[in-house]
Chains A and B, each alone.
Chain A
Amino acid sequence: MDNKTAQDILTGYRANGEDARDPFFADALEQCTRDPELATWLERERAFDRSVNTALESIEVPADGKARLLEMAARMEKRQGEGAASSSDENDALIERRKPAFWRGHRWIRASLGLAAACILGLVLWQTLPMLQQPNFEPEKFSMGEFISRAMPLSYRNDDPVNVKAWLASRNAPTPEAFPGNLAEASALGCRIFELPQGGKISLICLLKNGEVVHYFVFDDAASELLAATPLKTWWTEDGWHLYSFNEGNQRIAVATQGNPHHIL
């Protein structure tokens, strides 16, 4: 092996020494022990690598992005814990296999934890009950803020907006033509259809853009009257939500986000 070939190989040799036992580098490293010139070149190369590595590691990373992800995971973990406490018999069977030995035979421990789980579940239900109520669709009482607070849960979950639109279309629900602005590149969370007592339908599509949930409401012609008093083509705020509305054919669109509205449209 000539020095040029050895240098080509050793270019990929990491400065932290993790490759010392990799046979791929063995011959080239062996050659370094015989050739002082090559050894000097390798030392310079590694020093250069360390300096570039130091420079890259010096790029400051904003803390908020990481913190937000960790926070979401913590919430998810909490929810999963609550879900496990109220799981079905089938899930109980699954959990049975994971029970530690001390667990078996201590009924009072299970009873105490069961009671605690029931209390937590009750608390969660008490807090989420208002969301499960139907929104008020009377035109004179309708408000987007109240509507959004009761818009969950979704009826259909899918991360592809195309699939979500197809699901809505197959149920004759109002479907948007194309998502405007940055929403064109958003992923979906799912959707839900609302049928108004006085006739008319509203589709809700939940989108995810830059980590922010965006509610995309499509009011059909009959349902559009609910938004008759709301502004058109300008952002307004209601109950902590930034809202924007516009007409699309004979449909009325309302976009709602708690994130930065300028990142959306």
Chain B
Amino acid sequence: MTVQMNMQISPTIFQSTVREWYDALYRFAFSLSRNPDDAADLTQNAFYKFADKGGSINDPTKIKSWLFSVVYREYVDQFRRRGRYPESPLELVPEPAANHRPEAMADRLDSREVLHQLAKVSEKYRVPLTLFYLKSFSYKEIAATLEIPIGTVMSRLRRGKDQLRELLENGGGEEEQPAVTLEFPKKKEARNG
């Protein structure tokens, strides 16, 4: 039987959106969940919601923030249901793609090591940091996606980078960062899609 997707938007728009954002969205979901299966579920869920409710997005430039926001909120909702942080075995951090060729500074910083240490950065800083690096979210887009003030975005980026840099310089050990309190977006706004 064919899966019935509640497609309220043009399939053409849906397809172009999937092509443009699927990879980045998956990588963001992976950086949150640190688990390939959860990342795939979070990503798929975001596109199902987009198919159903994406028609309400009047400004196409907002699609990017909307999708990432859905993934983030779904992740937070799951976290709320589980009442704990997800298991985060660092072995799950994947090997970089074989054909991926780092350049400049990346020659010195091993990609796997960066991912390994990024996974240890406190959740609060890791989320805006990942958005900043993935598809180059601007500080305004990060603020809109996470619904936090611009000043908070800037300070979290700064602290997140400092934490990551320190972990990369010192090796960071194998211990996980202690859990920090994750801010839950308001439920009302969480349903605005």
Contact = CB atoms under 8 A, between A and B. Distances in A.
B11 A74 contact: yes
B5 A53 contact: no
Contacts of B115: 55-56, 58-59
A63 to B, nearest CB: 10
Contact of B133 (A49, A66, A187, A206): A49
12 contacts: A12-B132, A12-B154, A48-B109, A48-B161, A55-B109, A58-B96, A59-B96, A62-B40, A65-B22, A66-B19, A80-B11, A185-B81
Given A56-B115, A66-B18, A185-B81, 6 more contacts: A19-B138, A49-B133, A57-B134, A69-B22, A77-B15, A208-B48
Contacts of A47: 104-105
B128 to A, nearest CB: 9
B160 to A, nearest CB: 9
Interface stretch (A84-92, A166-174, A209-217, A219-227): A209-217
Interface string A25-39: 000000000000000
A14 B136 contact: yes
Contacts of B103: 50, 54
A51 B5 contact: no
A75 interface: yes
B96 A211 contact: no
Contacts of A189: 4, 6
A132 interface: no
A163 B125 CA distance: 38
Contact of B111 (A49, A58, A75): A58
Contacts of B68: none
A49 B161 CA distance: 9
A51 B114 contact: yes
Nearest to A49: B133
Where chain A touches its partner, the secondary structure class is: helix
Interface stretch (B26-34, B57-65, B170-178, B179-187): B26-34
Given A56-B115, A66-B22, A258-B1, A48 B165 contact: yes
A9 interface: yes
Contacts of A77: 11-12, 15
* Cβ-closest 9 pairs across A and B: A58-B96, A55-B114, A77-B11, A47-B105, A12-B139, A55-B111, A51-B106, A51-B105, A54-B106
Given A16-B136, A56-B130, A70-B15, A51 B36 contact: no
Interface of B: 1-7, 11-12, 14-15, 18-19, 22-23, 26-27, 30-31, 36, 40-41, 43-44, 47-48, 51-52, 81, 94-97, 100, 102-106, 108-109, 111-112, 114-115, 118, 129-130, 132-134, 136, 138-139, 153-155, 157-158, 161, 164-165
Given A62-B36, A210-B44, A18 B105 contact: no
Contact of A65 (B14, B26, B133, B155): B26
B11 A55 contact: no
Contacts of B112: 55
A69 B18 contact: yes
A65 B27 contact: no
Nearest to B111: A55
A48 B136 contact: no
A211 B106 CA distance: 37
Contacts of B155: 8
Nearest to B116: A55
Interface string A129-159: 0000000000000000000100010000101
Given A50-B103, A55-B109, A11 B157 contact: yes
Nearest to B44: A211
A212 B3 contact: yes
Nearest to A46: B105
Contacts of B43: 65
A136 B133 CA distance: 58
A46 B102 CA distance: 15
B118 A70 contact: no
A212 B44 CA distance: 11
Interface centre among B4, B15, B43, B134 (most CB of A within 10 A): B4
A162 interface: no
